[in-house]
Amino acid sequence: MLTDPRLQPEPLSPSQIAFQALQRWLDSRFHCMMGPPAAYFELPSNPDENGVHGFTRYTYQTLHWGIQADLADSAFGTVALLCDTFSQCFEGALAAFDKDSKPMLFWRITPQLKADPDTKQVTLRCRVVVPGYSFPSARSEGEGPMMIEVPRIARVQ
């Protein structure tokens, strides 16, 4: 047991817990691995009628979501909403495969959570390929995040 408080790990914030839950959820439903550091990669495809194996080229897709939020007041709710939106994107991918299968998922960039205190924007971004599926919400590389609209609720003082 560590007795020196300087050696104790920092406790996780609720936002970090929500983000880690998303990562665990993805790992439990997909066979996740890092893809090659290139704009695309190729995997062997099924043989044609002559028994010749070809290759299928896959290009990474960028998923980039953002929320305008007061970071001091609602960091956990903001991150939880981003993680929920991300998981919905991946549930769409899961629906394209057999219920009992665990599809492959190749990361170019694993999910990254960023908060900008100047713009009060929190974003969640990744570059990914799920062979056999195309994300309808994918963004062009360099394009800004797809913003999630959050209704304003009056605060009770």
pLDDT tens digit sequence for 79-132: 888 888 889 999 999 999 998 889 999 999 999 988 888 888 888 899 999 999
- What percent of the chain stands above pLDDT 70? 83
Distance of CA 94 to the CA centre of its chain: 14
Q: What pLDDT sits at residue 154?
A: 40
Q: What are phi and psi of 114, to 5 degrees?
A: -135, 140
**Better-scored residue on pLDDT, 157 or 133:** 133
Task: Examine the pLDDT at 36 and tell me if it is beyond 50.
Answer: yes
Nearest to 85 by CA among 145, 33, 1, 129: 145
Task: Examine the pLDDT at 34 and tell me if it is beyond 90.
Answer: yes
* pTM for the full predicted model: 0.79
Q: What pLDDT sits at residue 157?
A: 41
The residue whose two tokens read 């394009």 is: 143
Q: Are 125 and 138 in contact (CB under 8 A)?
A: no
The single-letter code of the amino acid at 77 is: G
pLDDT band for 153, please (50, 70, 90 cuts): very low
